[in-house]
């Protein structure tokens, strides 16, 4: 057993992981906000179908999701094939593919807190804003978003942390290409496989600490932000 500190490959894996989680979270907030808003406000009778689809990654083994993504993103899959037809690369085993997979995998962790936060606001503050001359878009940005701030914080941190922790999906569609698609969780797995427990300890411990600190800040901040309903 060796107790080496982190090597360059580990640091690269860490950077890729943070980059992946950051981009995924950002995109998910951007795309998930309108989706969550619609889910919270729509009275469409088949809305539950969409909700069920979004919640799927919560119960599905990541390898199943990863497998289908691999098929879809690969050169013979519908998405990968289209990419090739458009003159691009198939997305399997690329960083872009990883981002797409991570977004699907972490979607419920972003959309659900947002949907809950928007639903909790209720109709009244928006009606009040309407009678105070605020247009629908104005109401959304000046009333709904600020009132849903705890939801945004929860969504961002959960989305980020969940992406940092993913393994199965990445393994399936990203492969394990150092410097491109090798993320932290896979680097840990590799270390353990070759009995490098020291490095595995450093990486695992670091991840544990980061995750705990992130969750701690969410709960602490949400307590401070929590606004009494009036």
Partner 1 sequence: MSMTIEARFQIKRQDFILDIDLNIPARGISAIFGHSGCGKTTLLRAIAGLEPCSNGYLRVADMLWQDDNLFVPPHKRSLGYVFQEASLFAHLDVQKNLEYGLKRIPQSEYKVSLDQAIELLGIAHLLTRKAAQLSGGERQRVAIARALATSPKLLLMDEPLSALDMTRKQEIMPYLESLHDELSIPVLYVSHAPGEVARLADHLVLMESGKLIASGAIGQMLTRLDLPLAHGDKAAALIEATVAEHDEEFNLTYLDFPGGRFAVSHKDLPIGHPVRLRVVARDVSLTLEHQSQTSILNIFPARIEEMTPEGNAQAMVRLDLNGTPLLSRITRKSASLLDLTPGKQVYAQVKTVALLS
Binding residues for partner 1, per CB under 8 A? 124-125, 127-136, 138-139, 142-143, 146-147, 149, 227-230
Contacting residues for 54 by C-beta, under 8 A, at least 6 apart: 35, 107, 108, 111, 112
Q: What is the DSSP string of 164-194?
A: HT--HHHHHHHTT-TTTT--HHHHHHHHHHT
Structure tokens at 48: 């539950």
Nearer to partner 1, 2 or 229 (CB): 229
Residue 135: CB minimum distance to partner 1, A = 5
Task: State the Cα–Cα distance between residues 82 and 29, nearest whole angstrom.
Answer: 26
Nearer to partner 1, 219 or 225 (CB): 225
Residue 119: CB minimum distance to partner 1, A = 16
Task: State the Cα–Cα distance between residues 83 and 90, nearest whole angstrom.
Answer: 6
Residue 229: CB minimum distance to partner 1, A = 6
Residue 184: CB minimum distance to partner 1, A = 37
Nearer to partner 1, 53 or 132 (CB): 132
Nearer to partner 1, 1 or 131 (CB): 131
User: What backbone torsions phi and psi does residue 43 show, to the nearest 5 degrees?
Assistant: -110, 20
């Amino acid at each position: 057993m060796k107790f080496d500190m982190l090597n360059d490959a580990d640091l690269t894996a860490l950077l890729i992981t943070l980059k992946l989680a950051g981009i995924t979270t950002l995109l998910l907030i951007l795309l998930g906000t309108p989706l969550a808003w619609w889910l919270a406000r729509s009275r469409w009778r088949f809305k539950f179908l969409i909700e069920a689809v979004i919640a799927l990654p919560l119960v599905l083994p990541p390898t199943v999701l990863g497998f289908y993504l691999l098929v879809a993103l690969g050169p013979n899959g519908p998405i990968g094939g289209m990419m090739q037809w458009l003159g691009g690369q198939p997305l399997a085993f690329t960083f872009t593919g990883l981002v797409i997979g991570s977004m699907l995998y972490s979607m419920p962790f972003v959309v659900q807190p947002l949907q809950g936060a928007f639903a909790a606001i209720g109709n009244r503050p928006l009606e009040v804003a309407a009678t105070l001359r605020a247009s629908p878009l104005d109401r959304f940005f000046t009333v709904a978003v600020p009132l849903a701030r705890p939801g945004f914080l929860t969504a961002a941190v959960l989305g980020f942390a969940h992406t940092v922790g993913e393994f199965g999906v990445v393994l399936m569609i990203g492969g394990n290409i150092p410097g491109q698609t090798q993320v932290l969780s896979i680097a840990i797995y590799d270390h353990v496989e070759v009995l490098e427990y020291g490095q595995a300890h450093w990486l695992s411990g670091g991840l544990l600490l980061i995750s705990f600190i992130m969750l701690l800040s969410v709960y602490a901040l949400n307590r401070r932000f929590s606004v009494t309903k009036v």
